[in-house]
Amino acid sequence: MLSTPQFRLFNPDGIPVTLGYSNVAEITRGKIIYISGQVARDELGELVGEENFRAQVEQVFHNIDTAVRAAGGTFDNVVKLNYYCVDSVEQCHLPVVKEIRDRYVNTKNPPVSTFVVVRRLIRPEWLIEVEAVAVVQGGDFP
């Protein structure tokens, strides 16, 4: 991250302390990048990891990383992650998400996030979808 940060991730007094994510992302300058929900499809559009939750999560984070880099940032610029996981994924497999995510995010100052369990995604073979918001240098902020 730059010496003059474009955003601040924090947990304010007065609400429960969180583990693994921050409660607030305050944007102070820069350009906001919205990355649409990424699923386990490779650059050719082919499914990666049919019925393999770990492989799908790996591909999803790879896709987000590629997208944020294309916008001029790195995963350190991600301020928000929204997860949508199908209910057929057993709860015991969900720690895989944190394990893989922790290879990408700054674990000492993680992005804010929301994790939602849904009945299904638009394609039944997709087990997880993750969207992201990042803040990179540039834009009209002061």
pLDDT band at 140 (very low <50, low <70, confident <90, very high): low
Indicate the class that CATH gives domain 7-136. alpha beta
pLDDT at 32 over 50: yes
Domain ranges of the chain: 7-136
- Residue 29, SS3 per DSSP: coil
In the numeric block, which tokens belong to residue 27? 């944007």
Give the span between the Cα atoms of 88 and 118, in whole angstroms: 9
Query: Can you give the pLDDT at residue 20?
Result: 84
pLDDT band at 21 (very low <50, low <70, confident <90, very high): confident
Query: Nearest CA to 117 among 128, 101, 133?
Result: 128
Residue 99 CA to its chain's centroid (Å): 13
pLDDT at 138 over 90: no
- Residue 109, SS3 per DSSP: coil
pLDDT per position as a tens digit, 43-61: 999 999 999 999 999 999 9
Give the span between the Cα atoms of 61 and 89, in whole angstroms: 18
